[in-house]
Amino acid sequence: MLSTTGKTRLAKWYMQFDDDEKQKLIEEVHAVVTVRDAKHTNFVEFRNFKIIYRRYAGLYFCICVDVTDNNLAYLEGIHNFVEVLNEYFHNVCELDLVFNFYKVYTVVDEMFLAGEIRETSQTKVLKQLLMLQSLE
């Protein structure tokens, strides 16, 4: 998740990278994604992967997948994720994500795991999240 100013709000890695490699990757992704506007497709070829991204207000949600994966499905996955965030935080805005980042990570873990989409039902995810919240 990148803001338009280039700040990383959330980064989840499912593959092994060094710290400086990670930083470089983030910069490259930002450089590629922010120059594209609405006229462009939501898919970019990046090294030997694809980036599927979508812009919501001031944030870019990017997922980096293999070339063989279905683009549109992951685009929908992004949208699903954003809808869950919206429900959970009640009309989410960027500040919510910044201040409650650990909760956002929990949501990510609920929905994506080991690099794949895990749970697709929004109601189930929300139920889980509420349970976890009650444990604290």
Partner 1 sequence: MLGYPAHFGQMECVRMIASPRYSEKRVGYLGAMMLLDEKQDASLLITNSIKNDLSNSNQYIQSLALCTLACMGSAEMCRDLAPEIDRLLRASNSYIKKKAALCAVHIVRKVHDLGELFTKAARSLLTEKNHGVVHGAVVLITELCERNSETLERFRKTVPDLVQIMKGLVISGYSPDHDVAGISDPFLQVRILRLLRILGRNNEAASDAMNDLLAQVATNTDSTKTVGNAVLYETVLTVLDIKSESGLRVLAVNILGRFLLNNDRNIRYIAMTSLQKIVGTDHNAVQRHRGTIVDCLKDQDASVKRRALELSLALVSASNIRSMMKELLSFLSSCPPELRSQTASGIFNAAERYAPSQRWHIDTILHVLTTAGGDVRDETVPNLIQLITNTSELHCYTVHKLYRALLSDISQQPLVQVACWCIGEYGDLLLRGECQETEPVQVHRAQQTLVFPSANSDCDPVNPLTAPLSLHNSTPDSRIRSIVSIYGSCIDVELQQRAVEYNALFKKYDHMRAAVLERMPVIEKNSQGHTNGETIKESQTVKVKPGEPQQPANQVCDLLDLLGGSEQPLQPSPALGSAAPPIPVSTPNTVGGDLLDLLGGLEPTPITPVATVTVYEKDGVTVTLGCEKQSDSGLTVTLTASNSTESDIRGFTLQAAVPKSVQLHMKAPSGDSLPARGAAKVTQMVVLNNPNKVNLKMRLRISYTSQGSAVQDTVQIDSFPGLGQ
Q: With binding defined as CB under 8 A, does residue 120 bind partner 1?
A: yes
Task: In whole angstroms, give the CA distance from residue 46 to residue 129.
Answer: 34
Amino acid present at 73? A
Q: With binding defined as CB under 8 A, does residue 117 bind partner 1?
A: yes
Q: With binding defined as CB under 8 A, does residue 114 bind partner 1?
A: yes
Q: Is 122 exposed, middle or buried (0-12, 13-18, 19+ CB in 10 A)?
A: middle
Strands 112-113 and 116-117: antiparallel
Q: With binding defined as CB under 8 A, does residue 80 bind partner 1?
A: yes
Q: With binding defined as CB under 8 A, does residue 23 bind partner 1?
A: yes
Q: With binding defined as CB under 8 A, does residue 133 bind partner 1?
A: no
Which one of residues 16, 57, 66, 95 is an interface residue with partner 1 (CB under 8 A)? 16
Task: In whole angstroms, give the CA distance from residue 118 to residue 128.
Answer: 13
Q: Which is nearer to partner 1, 95 or 114 (CB)?
A: 114
The number of residues that bind partner 1 (CB under 8 A) is 45
Beta strands in the chain, from DSSP E residues, in sequence order = 2-3, 43-46, 49-56, 59-65, 112-113, 116-117
Which one of residues 31, 99, 121, 133 is an interface residue with partner 1 (CB under 8 A)? 121
Q: With binding defined as CB under 8 A, does residue 128 bind partner 1?
A: yes
